Chains A and B, each alone.
Chain A
Amino acid sequence: MTPRNDFPLLERQVDGRRITYLDSASTTPKPRAVIDAVRRYYENHTANVHRGAHVLSEETTSRYEEARFSIAALVGAAPNEIVFVRNTTEAINLVAHGLGLSSEDEIVTTALEHHSNYLPWRLHARAVPLPLDEDGVPRYELLRERLTSRTKLAAVAHVSNVTGVVAPIERWIEESHARGVPVLLDASQSVSHLPVDVKALDVDFFAFSSHKMLGPSGVGALYAKADWLERFPLYQVGGGMVARHDDDRFEPREVPFRFEAGTPAIEATIGFGEAASYLRAIGMERVAEHSRRIGAEMVDSLRSIPGVRLFGASIPPERRIGLATFTLDVGDLAQRDVARLLSDGHQVIVSGGLHCAHLFHQRMTVAGTVRASSHVFNDSSDVARLAAAVREIAS
């Protein structure tokens, strides 16, 4: 759907063969537009933001704040509802801190979650996970009975980083709100695969990372409804977040800047904004359609290979993205070794291991899985190369 030559990384060869990149759930290659935006910052603008009187600082501040508008536009938010953070993990930790939780409080989540959407709730409160079915899909229908008077938040991955399954978030939000419980969506895997409108969803918190949506590493964003941000206590203090500092008091700046202490990841944020623009220019409906199609092709082509066990494959393609997670039963070979063989022998780049989701693997009683995950630059030939490589390893 998108010219491969937008992505210089895809030209990389290993042992004389071009790579097949299927690890976008870990991190995505960057399109030339993003690389150029970062390069332009270094070559033309290098300066700090929100501080300097000089021309370079004003230019940099302008590009940095334009990124906030671009990212807000991607998810249907207002710019003042977008807080720049380091990544999804920090976004979720900011919410955990902001809610002022205690050990008596409960956070309803699922056993499928990434550590980032589980450990903060264990640290600040008590995590109440929904169980998984035999296919590794959370039993979302149990949400209502897990919500209690002690529930302070319902936190769920919009799209699972392990199975690629899209959670039934509309119902999740509706049921939670009916009980007065706010909702956080871990959007790491969804924001660059699905159209999102946080206002239409009425979600309270929406956390995502740049590097999983074609942007640079080191920056992410938290969308939060403005009234939540107004109520949140300060997270970190220092330069950039303070409006006035006298001997006897200090006054923080307005939302969202009060949550952005210190010099931010300026060039990464500018690239983040460019990535959002790149995706919008393609059109998120087209991106989603492509992702679903590649996901379906991956599941279909892997399903027929002897020894392959797929997870989340009971869910229809329209509720999955372009991601397939499986185990390959080949004697004593660990799944991490399968991923290594795919890389070294076939130049197919996938993840192998626990994908920061230990609970899932414990529940499924597997020591690890292999995950192939696509993005806008992948096509059917990539799926065919993956399937052929897996088939050969299995044989």
Chain B
Amino acid sequence: MNIDSSGGNTGVLSEPSYPDSHWEATSSALAWALEAIPLYAGHARHGDRTRIATASMDADATKCLLRELPILSKQDIRLHFPKQLLPTGFDWRAAVERNEAVLVATSGTTDERLQLLWEEGWWERQERAALCLHPAVRLVLSRDYREAVLTSPLCSGTTCHSGPTPLAERTIGNLLFLNQRGDPTYWTDSDVRTMVSELNAFEPDGLEADPAYLAELCRRARRLGLDLHQPSYVTLSYEFVSGLHRREIAKALSAPLLNLYGSTEAGVLFMECERGLLHHNHDYSHVELVPSGLFGAPTSLARVLVTQLSNRFTPLLRYDIGDLAFVEARGCDCGAGDGWVLRSIEGRLKDVTTTTRSEAVTVGELDREISQTRELAAYQVIQERDRGRWLIRWVAGDDARGTDEIEREITDRMRVLYGADAHVECRRERFIAPEPSGKYRLAMRKP
């Protein structure tokens, strides 16, 4: 990251209240990880070890100790997995063979890829806890329910050898995995019909989806005159949720669209409530929100550091997930419980662009402006610093106005964001390619 942070606001965010049980769990997880995990054992000082051994850490001591630990990056995980990140003496291969552990891998560009170990069933438990923060979803989950999943199959490393998977193999317990292609651009009409047909036959109570994939499915289904089954809720996860996605999905699905925020390596961290705010899933993680320090950004724009509370195999301490979020200082009265409340997820730190005055523009800020252009189906902003140019590639949705008219509006909106004198260029595209991970990138800076 090479964003200028000089002059950025680095004030402190006032922490919300958490129940004692959260601090006990955090203290306990910290004590265990500092003792058992070689990477962290090297970080703990003698005094820490004494405090840990006597279990004398209260909330303040826990916070204090956490702040003294170095921040864990994706690169750290890549460099130290498995041996330095697993408990000393732990035979992870045997655990995988006994189905006690699952080796998971995230794909993506060089700085995104990770491998780590999940305890069998851990993902489901902590995801369910997050989902239950929303009362309507909690109600659905309290009875027998079915859920359909629409995201990238994430098999780019082995596509040569993985074939179409029959419906029976994609139905696992109460879950149906709909998609078989790594890039929705390659969905044929037949693929769309099959997914819609399977969705409608399965009649899930919930739909968990990558927002870009679901928006595309809704758009394509509409063009084909296909109606979608109406689930009770839709959770949007896996990548940044654009206003464009929400608008397109809402045309086809009447259920509440709920942002479920987390990552493969950190777990599900926040769940959107009925007020549109995001609540911390604090039984499974401790989160520190640290002001981003980006030039021109308010204190409430924060980086997200995660300490896992229940990952027995590869516990992450102060892991920087790489995203930014706006904190809602006033909290929320929806009843979802204690802990941090976020106003919005703002996208990845590495995707922050800058104005003509070098002020940071998050993906969220960009999206709130650009997605107001109603006819857009997709877009991507590339800030080319060497050319002093902001290039916006865009794809028209259905029933769009003429190119010139749309580009005038986009240019105006870009200048609102980046500066009245910003050199903005628009390029109409038919498609925008996803990243190797199957996700779409809305903004980037070059070089």
Contacts and interface: CB of A to CB of B under 8 A. Distances in A.
Interface in B166-185: 181, 183, 185
B377 to A, nearest CB: 13
Nearest to B190: A230
Nearest to B437: A58
B425 to A, nearest CB: 9
Interface stretch (A31-39, A73-81, A178-186, A318-326): A73-81
Main secondary structure of the interface of B (DSSP, over half): loop
Interface in B395-435: 427, 429-433, 435
B9 to A, nearest CB: 36
Interface residues of A, number: 32
A80 B430 contact: no
B382 to A, nearest CB: 12
B160 A242 contact: yes
Contacts of A242: 160
Nearest to A241: B160
A243 interface: yes
B186 A79 contact: yes
Interface string B93-135: 0000000000000011110010000000000000000000000
B225 interface: no
Contact of A80 (B156, B186, B436): B186
Given A52-B157, A53-B158, A244 B163 contact: yes
B164 A243 contact: yes
Contacts of A255: 188
B164 A244 contact: yes
A80 B158 CA distance: 19
Given A79-B186, A254-B181, A58 B431 contact: no
Nearest to B185: A79
Nearest to B162: A243
B200 interface: no
B432 A55 contact: no
B160 A65 contact: no
Nearest to B110: A55
Given A69-B431, A78-B185, A59 B109 contact: yes
A50 B158 CA distance: 7
B429 A73 contact: yes
A252 B38 CA distance: 47
Contact of B107 (A58, A69, A244, A254): A58
B159 interface: yes
A379 B435 CA distance: 40
Given A55-B113, A58-B157, A72 B430 contact: yes
A50 B160 contact: yes
Given A51-B160, A59-B110, A243-B164, 13 more contacts: A50-B159, A55-B113, A58-B113, A59-B436, A62-B109, A62-B435, A65-B183, A72-B431, A73-B431, A79-B431, A244-B163, A254-B188, A280-B427
